[in-house]
Amino acid sequence: MQIFWFFPTHGDGRYLGSPEGARTVDLDYLTQIARAADSLGFDGALIPTGRSCEDPWVTAATLIPATRKLKFLVAVRPGIMSPTVAARMASSFDRLSQGRLLVNVVAGGDPVELAGDGSWLSHDERYEAASEFLHIWKGVLAGDKVNLDGKHIKVNDAQLLYPPVSKPYPPLYFGARPMPRMIWRPSMWMSTSAGASRQRKWPRRLPMCGRGPQNWAARCALASACTSSCAKPMRKPGLQPTG
């Protein structure tokens, strides 16, 4: 089991869902979190994406020199950026951090926020576009020249000149609510996602545990109990197409 921390790039506080004791986020505070997570031995830390958060790529890049082993799980929304641009960003970050990049694929999101970012795709179409995005992203990072005439994305002779440290590409993580079908298999499901829990057929109780602090121990215990049955299928590197 891998244990990750979280960078609260939308603000932090003492109590969930309450402004009491809240604080704004600045570089000094994020650096404190990064150094603490690094020294305490966490495998990595998630940096979220969205209009209410600081940019995850900029945030992660500023924290590279403050850490030694901590890996950065950077959230990426396939529907609002080019796969080749995303691949160049991932490769540069992976090289400059000496292989400490992990990528959290975020195909879903709030439709209102997505529309503000120029994405008008339906739920199923977002996952179709994410599949095409990842086909290109993985291919160029693995050193291939990619051509794709897809439903949502088209590229000709896409390639990457500066490869990443991680081979064939940085590990991909995925957490989602119900999907139309299983389009790919990630390196690891994010165990706190209710949707991921259902996809891996974890105990039905897990999605019902809630997100409050009083339920955190229960969620961790259930996730740990599932490790023996779920871990082996999730260890294959990278996202593999299913068909």
Q: Is the dihedral of CA 11, 58, 146, 187 positive or negative?
A: negative
- Whether residues 102 and 61 share a domain: the answer is yes
Phi-psi group of 143: left, alpha or beta (phi > 0 → left; psi -120 to 50 → alpha; rest → beta): left
Residue that wins the pLDDT comparison between 117 and 186? 117
CATH code of residue 180: 3.20.20.30
Q: What is the pLDDT of residue 131?
A: 94
Tell me how far apart the alpha carbons of residues 58 and 239 are, in angstroms, rounded to a whole number. Answer: 25
Q: What is the pLDDT of residue 217?
A: 42
- Whether residues 28 and 130 share a domain: the answer is yes
Q: How confident is the model at residue 13 (pLDDT cuts 50, 70, 90)?
A: confident
Last residue within a domain, chosen from 137, 167, 184: 184
Give how many domains the chain has, as a whole number: 2
Last residue within a domain, chosen from 165, 184, 203: 184
**What rounded mean pLDDT belongs to the chain?**
79
Q: Which of 9, 79, 87 is nearest to 45 (CA)?
A: 9
| Structure token pair of residue 15 | 């109590």
Q: What is the pLDDT of residue 176?
A: 59
Report pLDDT digits (tens) over 136-177.
999 999 999 999 999 999 999 999 999 999 999 999 998 755
- Whether residues 193 and 132 share a domain: the answer is no
- Whether residues 36 and 120 share a domain: the answer is yes
Tell me how far apart the alpha carbons of residues 81 and 59 are, in angstroms, rounded to a whole number. Answer: 18
Please give the share of the chain, as a percent, with pLDDT higher than 70.
71
Q: What is the pLDDT of residue 178?
A: 54
- Whether residues 35 and 143 share a domain: the answer is yes
Q: How confident is the model at residue 126 (pLDDT cuts 50, 70, 90)?
A: very high
Report pLDDT digits (tens) over 24-56.
889 999 999 999 999 999 999 999 999 999 999
- Whether residues 157 and 170 share a domain: the answer is yes
- Whether residues 79 and 159 share a domain: the answer is yes
- Whether residues 117 and 152 share a domain: the answer is yes
- Whether residues 60 and 80 share a domain: the answer is yes
Tell me how far apart the alpha carbons of residues 172 and 239 are, in angstroms, rounded to a whole number. Answer: 7
Residue 180 reports pLDDT greater than 60: no
Residue 17 reports pLDDT greater than 80: no
Q: Which of 42, 84, 85, 46 is nearest to 174 (CA)?
A: 46
Q: Model pTM?
A: 0.75
Q: Structural domain of residue 218, as residue ranges? A: 185-243
- Whether residues 190 and 206 share a domain: the answer is yes
Last residue within a domain, chosen from 153, 184, 215: 184
Q: What is the pLDDT of residue 92?
A: 98
- Whether residues 144 and 43 share a domain: the answer is yes
- Whether residues 127 and 189 share a domain: the answer is no
Report pLDDT digits (tens) over 194-239.
333 333 443 333 333 344 444 444 444 334 434 444 433 433 344 3
Report pLDDT digits (tens) over 65-116.
999 999 999 999 998 999 999 999 999 999 999 999 999 999 888 888 989 9
